[in-house]
Amino acid sequence: MKNDFRQNIAAIISAAAAGGVFVLLLFLLEWSVFIDIPIAVGTYAGLYLITKPKRRIGSIDIDFIENGEELEQKLLEAKEDHDNIKRSIVKIVDTQVKDEAEGLAETSAAIIEYLENNPSKIRQARQFIDYYQDTASKLLSKYIGLQDANIETSEIIQLKKDTKSALATLNKAFSGQFEKLMRGEITDMQAEIELLEQTVKMEMDR
């Protein structure tokens, strides 16, 4: 993880600086070790807080979001399933299945981008993250397994057909989930359009 790497670098830099301060105070300035240690610890803590990477959802620091760490974890789960869907798409041979899977990936990407810009909506998206997208990810992985097995029994042929149907259903579910998340924005836009039409009509009637 990129964030973990940066955090480790921040810790190393802070530890090196604190060690340097300790050596300087103890051996060059010959201060008491009981004074040196608190100053070195303070140096480490201060530098680490300054240099460690900020964890954000979109542009918002998670420290300023209620239950920020929990919401960040949910968003990471959503991104992981989205990446799994994209990895499956590359392997799919059947064009209809591929089209359905690409539709899922497109809507999923739009939802994730929306959630990054609106972290307060992540909690409302739990059903999408925990069920719909997770189901899509697992279903595509299993479909790839059937495809790669290259066994064409009547049962497997029917299962592949059922998978196509299930993916089409999931595409509708994904779109429905996105619409639910955006319902507030849709209502606001409708209200603004109605107000505009009324204002124009009043001006015309004068």
DSSP string, 130-197: IIIIHHHHHHHHHHHHHHHHT---HHHHHHHHHHHHHHHHHHHHHHHHHHHHTHHHHHHHHHHHHHHH
Tell me, yes or no, whether 136 and 43 share the same domain.
no
Question: Is 198 a domain residue?
Answer: no
pTM over 0.95: no
What's the Rg (C-alpha) of the chain?
A: 27
* Range of the structural domain that residue 43 is part of: 2-53
Tell me, yes or no, whether 143 and 188 share the same domain.
yes
Helix H or strand E segment including 61:
strand 60-61
Question: Is 170 a domain residue?
Answer: yes
Question: Is 205 a domain residue?
Answer: no
Please state, as a whole number, how many other Cβ atoms lie within 10 Å of the Cβ of residue 4: 9
Q: Which of 52, 195, 184, 57 is nearest to 124 (CA)?
A: 184
- pLDDT tens, per residue, the chain with 206 residues: 444 555 566 566 666 665 666 666 666 666 676 676 777 666 766 655 555 555 655 555 565 556 567 778 888 899 999 999 999 999 999 999 999 999 999 999 999 999 988 888 888 899 999 999 999 999 999 999 989 988 888 888 898 899 999 999 999 999 999 998 887 666 656 666 766 667 666 666 66
Helix H or strand E segment including 57:
strand 56-57
Which single residue is written with the structure tokens 């849709």?
186
Tell me, yes or no, whether 37 and 80 share the same domain.
no
Question: Is 108 a domain residue?
Answer: yes
Tell me, yes or no, whether 45 and 77 share the same domain.
no
Question: Is 203 a domain residue?
Answer: no
Tell me, yes or no, whether 105 and 182 share the same domain.
yes
* Region label for 32, one of left (φ > 0), alpha (ψ between -120 and 50) or beta (otherwise): beta
CA 192 to chain CA mean position, Å: 31
Q: Counting every residue, how long is the chain?
A: 206
Q: How many structural domains comprise the chain?
A: 2
Tell me, yes or no, whether 23 and 108 share the same domain.
no
d(CA 129, CA 108): 9
